[in-house]
Amino acid sequence: MLLVLRIRHIIALLTLLMMPFISTSLALAHADYVSSEPPADGTVTAAPERIVIVFSQELKPEGNTIRVTDARGNQVDRGDTTLNRNDPNRKTLIVSLNPGLSDGVYTVNWKNAGADGHSETGRFRFTISAGTTPAAAPLPATSGAEAPWLALLATGSGALLIGWALRRRVMRQS
């Protein structure tokens, strides 16, 4: 009897000790972001036609959304997020984009419905740099506070020079 109790105690103790590891493995057992096209924080040289995201686990066929917005917050996806039929493991989501997206930074917000009943969310950005829109003019080397003073100085010295030249001319003529 005493021995049985001890074994039970040992099992209980071992279970308690294992708890953090069990909960950690459960926490890892979600459909997390693995990779995407375009890649997170990546730059593409042509406007992509769709976003593809691969997750670590199987997803439900419904309840997944990928939303893509441009730098102004305008939605640029077509709201047709589906499981990628080319992935027999059902781990890939796909959404199509408006054609001919211009250069800029885009944000991808995703929410998935894992087959295990857990839902995960995340976001990443990517940049289109295809040269389709003129790049923004480079910022002047001087800061905004200094620039007016430099302009004023240049104008001032220019005026002084002209004034000096005119005066010399007038003095010569007289």
For 141, what's the count of Cα atoms within 13 Å in the CB-facing half-sphere? 1
Decide if 82 contacts 93 (C-beta within 8 A).
Answer: yes
Binding mask 12-31 toward Cu ion (x if CB under 5 A, else -) reads -----------------xx-
How far is residue 46's CA from residue 43's CA, in Å, rounded to a whole number?
9
By CB under 5 A, is residue 60 in contact with Cu ion?
A: no
Helix, strand counts (H, E) of the chain: 2, 8
CB of 58 to Cu ion, least distance (A): 10
**C-beta closer to Cu ion: residue 30 or 50:** 30
Residue 118 interacts with Cu ion (CB under 5 A): yes or no: yes
Per CB under 5 A, the segment of 32-40, 64-72, 108-116, 144-152 that binds Cu ion is 108-116
CA distance 46 to 103: 9
Residue of 58, 87, 103, 116 interacting with Cu ion (CB under 5 A): 116
Interface positions with Cu ion (CB under 5 A): 29-30, 116, 118
